[in-house]
A and B are shown apart, each in its own frame.
Chain A
């Protein structure tokens, strides 16, 4: 056991990429995928970058693969929507050196806006699909994905889920195998997808799928585990682990390469067992493949829910309609995530709440501005939509209404997909008002650098994008810069902007309160105290409405936790009785 280490699926995938001789790795941060690139950064042999967005990430890595370097790109499930355009065409061009696209799906939506099952992308884009079910497989199967990629001249879709990415299991490590840079030979018919070439490539793709189908029945990634033959279970990914808990004695068809579906292997399996049940999270991806083969008696979604993630108890309840005996639940207190003490977003959303603005939101920590006490945000769709949704509100409800509408977007998000929306507003003569919440980092996913921070993924100093210059270059003439912790000054700017008959951008700049430099400053500041003799407490609640987690009501008066207070002065600014110092 001594040579084994405890790794998360993401750490193991990064290790697998390194062992496979990967030279170029790209990603845009997104839970639950982020730690893959964060771990690849540590290897000197690998060039690793935070890309501006997922489409850029996929294209950079594909370019490197065509030019001869084993390459990988990783992203969360919705990130693959952004990168779908190049992914679909990369199936036609094929590769040169191995190319793997890692998608980390989020069943249960622990940190996502939808529950899409990206296994469907494999079938849609006609790419082979590889799925690990623990950290060891995350490492080993990733190496095999590179072999499949080069064997069949195709990108491979490597699909993980939150419970694979963020669970830690034991892994036996291997060594890196250098594979070198492959020769690059210009190939007009393969890599230039002019219609005439692409038409010919489509035939290649269909032929390739047939060969991959034969291969998947013989691949060691797909296996039959013999057991009691009265029940046969088809499963993949994390669902395999839950099914093993509930049905330890059944016969299993465990799929690590589920697309193209291993038809011959399934037929063999089906002939061995009396009954087949498919246990899979979210979509009936495997079940549909099986039913298409004519096995209409196979059961799956009849028992297993479409919505939310699976767990051992969900599988047990679904298939056996039973629960293990357990105590009755006891209600606890609601504890949703909140803005941290000293969070720059607090100042902005406190003001937007006071101004009763309509706010189209975006993806980031600031999405929490939708929750109490601010309840400021009206929409949250995807990266960049904070800007464009706001323009849509203007088009539907007119300019007067639009004056009270603000689109909010984070710094990393603005660079990811906000700029095109801003240009659209200027070009189409909108008067939409946008706030860029520049907290100097990609915060929600745990502090990744981006093109605005002046540092690369490897920590090297680089040019930092100037937000003001970009906004001006888009054609916005009214650009304001505010410190969101200056509450009154920020509110004055918001009010001024609301009266404008032209588009405007407010850059709200203050670093995330969890950044190390900020923490140092906080340590030097005094903790804030409430003078209970002056405080009106429950009759006032002025400071409580800030939503600061350090502030609560104790014995009828405001109280500030020494443990949580970071010494910012927001509460001092909002207290109408000057009871805080």
Chain B
């Protein structure tokens, strides 16, 4: 693939965004592509907004996605999808959102309000396909609610040029032994969600 594919994974510190972007990079690498990913550690991990950029293709230079070129946003939290919407390309982008609202302290103490109708406002402003996924509910079906991130990766995988078998291999290699089965199941449940 000559064209570089650009993904942004966003969410809140502590949600496992860096682990998810690591998995995606490994899948790209195992599929024979060049890949780079970028994120920032430190201050942003204390419950703040966290974002990871993942790029893959035949040859990748910048680890950062350029504004206007993002093919897909995967957000682990609803308001965090909004934050990066201007990075999307203007036509044909995908936005996959976990149906989860985490209310920041700024809202509780009255400094800000939590955005309403997030899916609607994205659909109004961007010509992108938006998918809202109840990842925690789906993850519960595996018996382990902590596999919600893998559900989301499964849903995202439908829109990426990688074979499911490569994903499953990387999942098997990356998770602790006793959680592999639940994660594989979560990935397949996520993949069914289109």
> Which residues of A come within 8 Å of B, CB atoms?
1, 4, 6, 31-32, 34-35, 110-111, 134, 162-163, 166-170, 238, 240-242, 244-245, 311-313, 316, 323-340, 365, 368, 372-373, 444-446, 541, 544-545, 547-549, 551-554
Among A31, A162, A168, A241, the one with the most B-chain Cβ atoms within 10 Å of its Cβ is A168
Is the Cβ of B39 less than 8 Å from the Cβ of A166?
yes
Q: Which of A110, A313, A329 contacts B44 (CB 8 A)?
A: A110
The proximity string for B residues 107-148 relative to A, scoring 1 for CB distances below 8 Å and 0 otherwise, is 111011111000001100110000000000000000000000
Q: Which of A1, A313, A337, A339 contacts B45 (CB 8 A)?
A: A337
Q: Within 8 Å CB of A365, what residues of B? A: 46
- Within 8 Å of chain A (Cβ to Cβ): is B191? no
Category for how many chain B residues contact A: 35 or more
Is the Cβ of A335 less than 8 Å from the Cβ of B79?
yes
The proximity string for B residues 58-87 relative to A, scoring 1 for CB distances below 8 Å and 0 otherwise, is 001111101111000000000110110111
* Segment at the A interface, from B21-29, B155-163, B178-186: B21-29
Among A1, A331, A332, A333, the one with the most B-chain Cβ atoms within 10 Å of its Cβ is A333
Is the Cβ of A166 less than 8 Å from the Cβ of B41?
yes
Is the Cβ of B90 less than 8 Å from the Cβ of A325?
yes
> What is the distance, in angstroms, from B95's C-beta to the closest C-beta of chain A?
11
A-B contact pairs, 9 of them (CB 8 A): A6-B35, A167-B37, A245-B62, A326-B86, A326-B88, A328-B86, A335-B106, A337-B48, A373-B105
Is the Cβ of B42 less than 8 Å from the Cβ of A169?
no
Nearest residue, chain B, Cβ from A554: B103
Q: Which of A330, A333, A337, A548 contacts B85 (CB 8 A)?
A: A330
Is the Cβ of A337 less than 8 Å from the Cβ of B43?
yes
Nearest residue, chain B, Cβ from A240: B61
Q: Within 8 Å CB of A35, what residues of B? A: 41
| CA–CA, A542 and B18, complex, Å | 35
| CA–CA, A286 and B121, complex, Å | 45
Q: Which of A32, A326, A368 contacts B87 (CB 8 A)?
A: A326
Q: Within 8 Å CB of B69, what residues of A? A: 324
- Within 8 Å of chain A (Cβ to Cβ): is B7? no
| CA–CA, A244 and B90, complex, Å | 23
Nearest residue, chain A, Cβ from B82: A332
> What is the distance, in angstroms, from A123's C-beta to the closest C-beta of chain B?
27
> Which residues of B come within 8 Å of A, CB atoms?
12-13, 22, 25-26, 29, 32, 34-49, 60-64, 66-69, 79-80, 82-83, 85-90, 103-109, 111-115, 121-122, 125-126
Is the Cβ of B48 less than 8 Å from the Cβ of A338?
yes
Is the Cβ of B42 less than 8 Å from the Cβ of A167?
no
> What is the distance, in angstroms, from B132's C-beta to the closest C-beta of chain A?
16
Q: Within 8 Å CB of A331, what residues of B? A: 82, 115
Q: Within 8 Å CB of B42, what residues of A? A: 31-32, 110-111, 444-446
Q: Which of B34, B45, B90 contacts A170 (CB 8 A)?
A: B34
Q: Within 8 Å CB of A316, what residues of B? A: 66
Is the Cβ of B121 less than 8 Å from the Cβ of A330?
yes
Q: Which of A333, A338, A446 contacts B115 (CB 8 A)?
A: A333
> What is the distance, in angstroms, from A139's C-beta to the closest C-beta of chain B?
15
| CA–CA, A323 and B86, complex, Å | 12
> What is the distance, in angstroms, from A261's C-beta to the closest C-beta of chain B?
24
Q: Within 8 Å CB of A170, what residues of B? A: 29, 34-36
Is the Cβ of A313 less than 8 Å from the Cβ of B105?
no
Is the Cβ of B47 less than 8 Å from the Cβ of A166?
no
Closest 7 A/B residue pairs (Cβ): A111-B42, A326-B68, A324-B68, A31-B42, A337-B48, A337-B46, A312-B66
| CA–CA, A445 and B12, complex, Å | 18
| CA–CA, A31 and B43, complex, Å | 9
Is the Cβ of A333 less than 8 Å from the Cβ of B106?
yes
Is the Cβ of B88 less than 8 Å from the Cβ of A333?
no
Is the Cβ of B41 less than 8 Å from the Cβ of A372?
no
> What is the distance, in angstroms, from B13's C-beta to the closest C-beta of chain A?
7
Q: Within 8 Å CB of A444, what residues of B? A: 42-43
| CA–CA, A339 and B45, complex, Å | 10
Is the Cβ of A549 less than 8 Å from the Cβ of B47?
yes
Q: Within 8 Å CB of B106, what residues of A? A: 333-336, 372
